[in-house]
């Protein structure tokens, strides 16, 4: 799957991933109205609205990008109905041959981590059958519980030829509270980065490992260091756009071939029509605004990489 | 909700919580067979089997205990159908007036953490309505992303009078990889513990904060230290029983009144019938074995606390 991701990045010339993190407030009123008319102001109605919103965006951008990253929390807040919309979104993106990175940030220990890994990446044994549940291609994982929490995910990834992005340095302002703490004079995220490199050694694709890392766009100097510490880990980079990261900040996350990283934008793409730059599209054409925002983002990052 | 938890602990005289973490392999064959006959060897069939298994156990133990802790991963591995069984379990336990600690170990940032908090503890705004989705009483949360990840949970807890248990020191063997790293000569978990104490200051119940901590039973010396660092944080203690923790190890997690901690056992209770001690109950009477195991666990912990 990491080879497929890299091939798709080369083909689209777009090392980017679109975060499908729909807040109900991003969904234009005409879509909300229709869903509420059909299902009422219910969990089902909300789930239908975000699914219709997603579908229209996916239809307008799938040819430009290699991957999407649905954030499961945005669906989980609507309970079972929301999670059905998550699953529909995952399935639909896979039909469009997009790689799906489930942003689930799960992490537990032993058989519990295994259950998450099986449910999201693998197949669960039921009687004599093996059945997939959510079936994403990659998921994000939280490392706080150490190797016990990660190994079951890696084992399932090996079996299924799927991958992980493990949180190393997150993009948020308070990420430093624990992640930057100095351990023997070096920040904790470097230790986590070393572990990611080690966990990934046993599950290599052609040029990068199936086991990648999350490093926020908002800390470019740290990204540069971590790139060296984890030379074979593909880096998923959140924090571009709405959170403040720019293409020019991100060049050191990439290798000399413009590979090794994939930059995420969520709100900046899916709610583009709410920005002044794209407001001329209007709420009716929100998905066209998203397409334009994707094109701009690809250009921003390509320009930054070309300048190197 | 923390006051209610404490009252229920006093009333039952049982500072314990039963982990409803059903593996399909724990579910006796006669239940699996019935569910598979009705729904086939499908996700729905598996979800029905674990729900029937849970229900029978809950019916047999609810009068003895203050709280349950369903581990969402064990349901999530069966996808949407599994999560429906999770929701049914949560609702059924609440009908039985049990306090429900959703072991979800979520954690993200900003609006994403807020979405998890709303979906599990609060109400989501849909048009003019506010609707609950999973509606647990407490959830477990991962602190790796710092205050940005925790504050949205605390805010929802304040509004709903609900609570959290934040991972501080987990029970697994490799928990030390990052959690024990020395920062200025002190282990990282102490810093996390200090933050938990701080996060909890603004959301106090009568004697303990609504914001508690997870500290594994397998590290009793660390539990003793953390009890001092977080004097007002209720401690949720996993790792008792199957993972090796004993009642006698846990006395320092409690205060002088035998409060301040709640000890979890999962496999040791719900799969008790598979242990030699309880094998005479037989698979047909698995829930009676669970009841007996609960009684033994309460006695083990009471004895340990009495000896202090």
What does the pLDDT look like over B204-225, one tens digit per residue? 999 999 999 999 999 999 999 9
| Cβ–Cβ under 8 Å, residues B130 and A24 | no
Q: Which residues of B touch A266 (CB under 8 A)?
A: none
**Alpha carbon distance B71, B173 (integer Å):** 19
By mean pLDDT, which of A275-279, B70-74, B189-193, B255-259 is the weakest?
B255-259
Which residues have C-beta within 8 Å of that of residue A248, sequence separation ≥ 6? A304, A307
Q: Exposed, middle or buried: residue B285 (CB in 10 Å: 0-12, 13-18, 19+)?
A: middle
The mean pLDDT of chain B is: 95
- Give the span between the Cα atoms of A165 and A234, in whole angstroms: 8
Structural contact between residues A58 and A92, judged by C-beta atoms closer than 8 angstroms: yes
Place of tokens 């929802």: B156
Whether residue B244 is predicted with pLDDT greater than 80 in this model: the reply is no
For chain B, say whether A37 makes contact (Cβ under 8 Å): no
A124 vs B77, B112, B181: nearest CB? B77
Contacts for A257 with CB less than 8 Å, ≥ 6 apart? none
Can you tell me whether residue B56 is helix, strand or coil? Answer: helix
Calpha distance A85→B126 (Å, rounded):
15
- Segment B32-51 shows an average pLDDT of 98
ipTM: 0.95
CATH code of the domain in which A17 resides:
3.20.20.70
* B23, A125 contact by CB (below 8 A): no
pLDDT at B256 over 90: no
Measured in whole angstroms, the distance separating CA A193 from the mean position of its chain's CA atoms is 18
Closest alpha carbon to B41 in B81, B98, B97: B81
- Hey, are the CB atoms on B178 and A192 less than 8 Å from each other? yes
Give the residue-averaged pLDDT of B264-273: 96
Q: Which of A264, A192, A190, A204 has its CA nearest to residue A232?
A: A204
Q: What is the mean pLDDT of residues B284-305?
A: 96
Q: Check CB contact of B38 with chain A, cutoff 8 Å.
A: no
- What is the 8-class DSSP label of residue B254? S
Instruction: Round to whole Å and give the CA distance between B236 and B84.
Output: 26
Nearest-by-Cβ selection for B46 from A23, A42, A126: A126
Percent of chain B scored above 90 by pLDDT? 88
Which pLDDT belongs to residue A307?
73
* Average pLDDT of the residues in B268-294: 97
pLDDT at B248 over 90: no
Ordered DSSP codes for chain A: -HHHHHHHHHHHT--EEEEE---GGGS-HHHHHHHHHHH-SSHHHHHHHHHHHHHHHHHHHTTT-SEEEEBTHHHHTTHHHHHHHHHHHHHHHHHTT-EEEEEEEE---HHHHHHHHHHHTSEEEETTEEEESS--SEEEE--TT-HHHHHHHHHHHHHHT-EEEEEEE-SSGGGHHHHT-EETTEEHHHHHHHHHHHHHHTSB-SSSBSEEEEE-TT-HHHHHHHHHHSTT--EEE--BGGGSB-GGGGGGGS-TTS-SEEEEESHHHHTGGGSGGGGGGTGGGHHHHHHHHHHHHHHHHHHHHHT-
Q: Which of 171-230 (A) contact B at CB < 8 A?
A: 171-179, 181-184, 188, 191-192, 195
Per-residue model confidence (pLDDT) at position B308: 64
CB contact under 8 A, B134 and A82: no
Mean pLDDT of B170-176: 90
Q: Output the pLDDT for position A60.
A: 98
The closest of A81, A94, A167 to A135, measured between CA atoms, is A94
State the angle between helix axes of A110-120 and A147-160 in degrees (0 to 180), rounded to the nearest 10: 30
pLDDT for the residue A248: 83
Give residue A182's domain range: 2-306
pLDDT in tens, chain A (308 residues): 899 999 999 999 999 999 999 999 999 999 999 999 999 999 999 999 999 999 999 999 999 999 999 999 999 999 999 999 999 999 999 999 999 999 999 999 989 999 999 999 999 999 999 999 999 999 999 999 999 999 999 999 999 999 999 999 999 889 989 999 898 889 999 999 999 999 999 999 999 999 999 999 999 999 999 999 999 999 999 988 766 777 888 999 999 888 999 999 999 999 999 999 999 999 999 999 999 999 999 999 999 888 76
Residue B282 to residue A255: CA distance in whole angstroms: 61
- Please check whether residue A242 touches B, CB under 8 A: no
Catalytic residue selected from A105, A123, A151, A224: A105
Question: In whole angstroms, what is the distance from residue B143 CA to residue A181 CA?
Answer: 14
β-pair type (A186-187, A182-183)? antiparallel
A 48-77 residues with CB below 8 A of B? 71, 73-74, 76-77
Categorize the per-residue pLDDT at B279 as very low, low, confident or very high, splitting at 50, 70 and 90: very high
Tokens of A57: 């965006």
Do A70 and A21 meet the contact criterion of CB atoms below 8 Å apart?
yes
Question: Which chain A residue has its CA at the smallest distance from B125's CA?
Answer: A24
Q: Do A146 and B195 touch (CB under 8 A)?
A: no
Does residue B173 or residue B198 have the better pLDDT? Answer: B198
pLDDT for position A308: 64
Find chain A residues with C-beta within 8 A of B106's C-beta.
73, 105
Question: DSSP letters of B157-207?
Answer: HHHHT-EEEEEEE-SSGGGHHHHT-EETTEEHHHHHHHHHHHHHHTSB-SS
Q: List residues bridging with A182 in a β-sheet.
A: A187
Q: How far apart are CA A246 and CA A240, in angstroms?
A: 6
pLDDT, mean of residues B113-142: 97
What residue in A sits closest to B113 (Cα-Cα)? A73
Question: What's the total number of domains in chain A?
Answer: 1
pLDDT of residue B184: 85
């Amino acid at each position: 799957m990491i080879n497929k991701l890299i091939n798709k990045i080369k083909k689209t010339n777009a090392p980017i991933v679109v975060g499908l993190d729909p807040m109900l407030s991003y969904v234009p009123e005409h879509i909300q109205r229709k869903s509420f008319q059909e299902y009422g102001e219910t969990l089902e109605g909300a789930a239908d609205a975000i699914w219709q919103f997603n579908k229209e965006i996916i239809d307008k951008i799938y040819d430009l990008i290699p991957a999407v990253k649905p954030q499961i929390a945005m669906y989980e807040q609507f309970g079972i109905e929301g999670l059905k919309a998550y699953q529909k979104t995952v399935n639909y993106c896979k039909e469009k041959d997009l790689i799906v990175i489930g942003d689930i940030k799960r992490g537990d220990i032993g058989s519990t981590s295994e259950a998450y890994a099986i449910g999201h990446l693998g197949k669960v044994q039921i009687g004599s059958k093996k059945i997939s549940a959510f079936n994403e291609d990659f998921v994000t994982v939280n490392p706080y519980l150490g190797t016990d929490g990660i190994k079951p995910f890696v084992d399932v990834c090996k079996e299924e030829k799927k991958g992980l992005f493990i949180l190393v340095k997150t993009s948020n302002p308070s990420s430093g509270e624990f992640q930057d703490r100095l351990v023997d004079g070096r920040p904790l995220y470097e230790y986590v980065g070393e572990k990611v490199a080690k966990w990934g050694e046993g599950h290599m694709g052609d040029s990068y490992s199936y086991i990648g890392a999350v490093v926020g766009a908002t800390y470019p100097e740290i990204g540069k260091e971590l790139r060296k510490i984890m030379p074979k880990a593909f880096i998923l980079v959140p924090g571009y756009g709405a959170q403040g990261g720019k293409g020019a900040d991100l060049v050191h996350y990439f290798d000399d071939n413009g590979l090794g990283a994939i930059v995420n934008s969520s709100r900046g793409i899916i709610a583009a029509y709410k920005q002044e730059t794209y407001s001329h599209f209007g709420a009716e054409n929100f998905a066209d605004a998203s397409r334009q925002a994707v094109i701009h983002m690809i250009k921003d990052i390509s320009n930054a990489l070309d300048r190197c």
